Amino acid sequence: MKKLVVATALTMALAQGALVGGAWAGDPELGRGKSETCLGCHGVPHYVNTYPTYHVPRIGGQHEEYLIAALKAYREKQRSHNTMHANASNLSDEDIADIAAYLSALK
């Protein structure tokens, strides 16, 4: 009986996503919709914020792990940028993984 429970739990987990390095891999298709706000600034070539004056980096094609770490740091206010705090504050770990999976696949 115990083997059946474990097998069922594993099957359900695999149906939800792949386990990568101890964390669930993001879904790039879900990340496409979740990243629309990100691309409003980060998808514009040579975009510079007006206040504070800041060159906004392009994040398409960036390493997935970096994007995850950066978004979590903004969410926890460990990185300073008020606009990014606002954008990341309500993101779940799953949202962040999905966004990172999509953005890292962009060229």
For residue 7, tell me if it sits in a domain: no
Which pLDDT score is estimated for 18? Answer: 53
Residue 94 CA to residue 96 CA, distance in Å, equals: 5
Of 89 and 49, more confident: 89
For residue 16, tell me if it sits in a domain: no
For residue 64, tell me if it sits in a domain: yes
3-state SS, one letter per residue, for 1-60: CHHHHHHHHHHHHHHHCCEECCEECCCHHHHHHHCHHHHHHHCCCCCEECCCCEECCCCC
Which letter does DSSP use for residue 50 in this model? T
For residue 85, tell me if it sits in a domain: yes
pTM: 0.75
What's the rounded mean pLDDT across residues 79-93?
94
Give 63-72 pLDDT, tens digit per residue.
999 999 999 9
Number of domains into which the chain is organized = 1
Gyration radius of the chain over CA positions: 17
